[in-house]
Structure 1
Amino acid sequence: MKSILAILTLLTLAIQANAYNLSPTSARRTFIKTSAATAAAIPLAVAFPLPSLAEVVVPEQITTDFPFPENWGLTFKYEEDAAKVREHMIIATGLGKGAPKMEAYGKNMKKEMVDFVSYYRRFPAVAGKPSFSTLYTSINVLAGHYTSYGFKYPLPEKRRKRLYQEYAEVEKSLKRNR
């Protein structure tokens, strides 16, 4: 990685030095040729690595009996409600095809998510927290899945992985009171 950065630095310096050539036509052509060669030689992911979300182990889907919560609804205390909605969403994300009471769970889950967002987004002190914005994103993904595919169809593996990563981020933020 360090050698790639060193090569990029040297190429950038060479391009900048050549840009001050007295012949404007040759400088422009050289710049375009070297820029194209540099772009082709170095993959974008290596040159500009994206920050990755925390790696999370995605559990197997639940197709047998699972704990069906009795504590649906809000307590109107943000930290408690966010933790509860997150826990319910973890179970909803893990449900596989043929899980018992999957449709009832999904309907309760969607109502709880809508109630949570519609209540807490009105408060700027809460809406500005990283835990809220990440949980809001997760809620949009899960609610969108329910809207598009219904309550009986399980989430695809790629979507499940992303949601579990976001749940981990929400948990970290809640522990820090953020």
Structure 2
Amino acid sequence: MKTNLILVAAMASSVGAFSVPGEQSARRQFLQTASAAAASAILIPTVASAEIAVPEQTKDYVFPSDWGLTYNYENDAARVRNHMVTATGLAKGADRMEDFGKNLKKEMIDFVSYYRRFPQVAGKPSFSTLYTSINVLAGHYTSYGYKYPLPEKRRKRLYQEYAEIDKSLKRNR
């Protein structure tokens, strides 16, 4: 990004080199227009085409009582995913956020430890995407602890992965 800004600034500053004092040439007009177009293309962020359903952050949530595995892959994957969606949306200061994170991390570790041993499960797209999401969330907990919410960029990426997991699980039913 920094390189792009320097490039645009250099283009804009070199516009005057091609003009005769007191007259605005076609070359100068072209370079001004081109540098303005380049600057707007670089500086205005592009919007992703995929729409992601992002749950609202809330301090009011129901602390789940269904922690642990049932040893049925589809049920366990859906349960872990749902718990991860809740954890991803928790705002700072949410009630029992630390307990939720600790329970979730244990559940995620149990899930991966159990299901990665089975080639028929480990080869599923839902498992590989869920495994990636688990690594991201567990890494956040390891680095920042359970009391700090996820940064917006990481949260957005996780919601995209959760949507993919949900689609994969629905296709297999």
Which residues of 2 match residues 152-167 of structure 1 at below 5 A?
Answer: 152-167=147-162
1:10-89 to 2 correspondences below 5 Å: 54-62=50-58, 64-89=59-84
Please tell me whether the aligned partners of residues 110 and 143 of structure 1 are also in contact (alpha carbons under 8 angstroms). Answer: yes
Shift of 1:165: 0.5
Match of 2:114 in 1: 119
Letter in 2 for 1:148: S
For residue 134 of structure 1, the aligned residue among 129, 143, 162 is 129
TM-score by length of 1: 0.68
Q: Secondary structure at the match of 2:109?
A: helix
Paired AA for residue 112 in structure 2: V
Find the counterpart in structure 1 of residue 169 from structure 2.
Answer: 174
Distance in 1 (CA, whole Å) between partners of 2:52 and 2:168 is 16
Identity of aligned residues (%): 78
Is contact 1:54–1:168 with CA below 8 Å preserved after alignment?
Answer: no
CA RMSD of aligned residues (A): 1.5
Change (3 A) 1:93 1:123: same
Structure 1 runs of 4+ aligned residues shifted over 2 Å read 52-55, 57-60
Q: Secondary structure at the match of 1:132?
A: helix
Contact preservation (8 Å) 1:58, 1:160: no
Could you state the TM-score of these two structures normalised by the residue count of structure 2?
0.70
Offset at 1:65?
Answer: 2.4
Aligned residues: 126
1:135–1:166 Cα contact (<8 Å) kept: yes
> Residues 68-94 of structure 1: CA distance to partner in whole angstroms, max 9, x if unpaired?
110100000000000000000000000
Structure 2: gaps spanning 5 or more residues:
1-47
Deviations 1:144-166 (A, max 9, x none): 00000000000000101000010
